[in-house]
Structure 1
């Protein structure tokens, strides 16, 4: 038995390679974080992690990814995929679930380094994990959310077929801000004009779905 099969999992799109985080890749990711994720006067994230002092950002990012990795189980898991373009890390795409063996729903979150934005990378990497969740894990729904002023995220969601699923408010930098929940089903998924290539998934199914590959 491979006790950490995620080291073999790879998703490939025409431009991108997505692999679950590893320590060497995380060091590259820290460099992308320190190079900038969003303009300082904006906060696109529900968790304001990029507001940490610069000298803490790298350590915080590493500890977050290590903690998420260590807590993975079929009852609650998150895969943080490192996104590589031409062999270099440019961002991160998460795919997570609570009680997936019963609910079969996933949630996504992502970011791309500021200097790599505006090139369609965000849509391509989210399409990749959605295809992976629907086609290889058997998910029946994917959920996301974004602040109403995060126009780039909403454009990606509309492009992929998400529909609004209610709103909620939260405190952002000391002020109330509204987020829109988003829902996508396999039937509504607007698939890209390319096929996702996946390798190494079989050994991961037990830890993600609670079932053995033969089931």
Structure 2
């Protein structure tokens, strides 16, 4: 019988750290993903995301979340791709780590964005999940840089990024909520600034992913021009 992973090889991917498992979200994961988001990600008076997707009624958030997950699949093809990795902690889905790329064969750069529900923030999980995707990007995808951004006021998120090795890469003016301007800090991580952990990353299913996305099989010998990240981090 044909398996789902043979149809959509990205579902084969599994990343494991000492406390977390990261794997692409399947349709059956979406309700738990929505429940995690509805449990609270940030105080209502603030908006850490570049798009205010949490500022909607519960039923709209559910539909919007499902559309986001499905959209990442539609965007995934050789060269240009997006993967929404669910974050599992102690058997519970607690957040998401997005990783995407544009013209990856040339630029060798990934963009990342993430969130964790408030109930598990402050335990170092943000560092662990971001470190996991950095290890995967550099050691398996042969990326030369990872880019992201965060609201300039979000000291907690910026601190987590710094702990991984991200460095400031310019500021731009964003609009987190309609009519509300906010300075956004661009961030960039390279193998030279990356603070490697003491632990090794567990990786399953990479060969299927690499074949499906036609990923480069050797390290790059050029450094791409930095570009704005696609989504913000909010994982203190």
TM-score range, shorter chain: over 0.9
Partner in structure 2 of residue 162 of structure 1 = 166
Q: Which runs of 5+ in 1 are unaligned?
A: none
Shift of the 58–204 alpha-carbon distance from structure 1 to 2, 3 Å rule, reads: same
Q: Where do 1:43-58 residues align within 5 Å?
A: 43-58=47-62
Contact 1:137 1:209 in 2 (8 A): no
Deviation >6 Å, runs of 4+: none
Alignment of 1:94-113 (within 5 A): 94-113=98-117
SS at match of 2:140: helix
Distance 1:120 1:212, change over 3 A: closer
| Compared CA separation, residues 28 and 147, structure 1 to 2 (3 A) | same
Q: RMSD over aligned Cα, in angstroms?
A: 1.6
* Equivalent in the alignment of 1:188: 193
Q: CA deviation at 1:18?
A: 0.4
Take 2:67 and 2:92, find their aligned partners in 1: how far apart are those partners? Answer: 21
Give the structure-2-normalised TM-score.
Answer: 0.86
2:183 to 153, 178, 187: 178
Where structure 2 has 5 or more consecutive residues not aligned to the other structure, the ranges are 219-236
SS of alignment partner, residue 49 of structure 1 = coil
* Equivalence map 1:63-212=2 (5 Å): 63-173=67-177, 174-210=179-215
TM-score normalized by the length of structure 1: 0.94
Question: Which structure has more RCO (C-alpha within 8 Å, separation ≥ 6)?
Answer: 2
C-alpha separation in 2, matches of 1:168 and 1:183: 14
Greater share of residues in helix = 1
Distance in structure 2 (CA, Å) of the matches to 1:55 and 1:27: 11
Call closer, same or farther: CA 1:209–1:153 in 2, change over 3 Å.
Answer: farther
Structure 1 residues 63-97: Cα deviation after superposition (integer angstroms, max 9, x where no partner): 11111112211232111100001111000001110
Aligned residues: 213
Q: Aligned to 1:187, what secondary structure does the other structure show?
A: coil
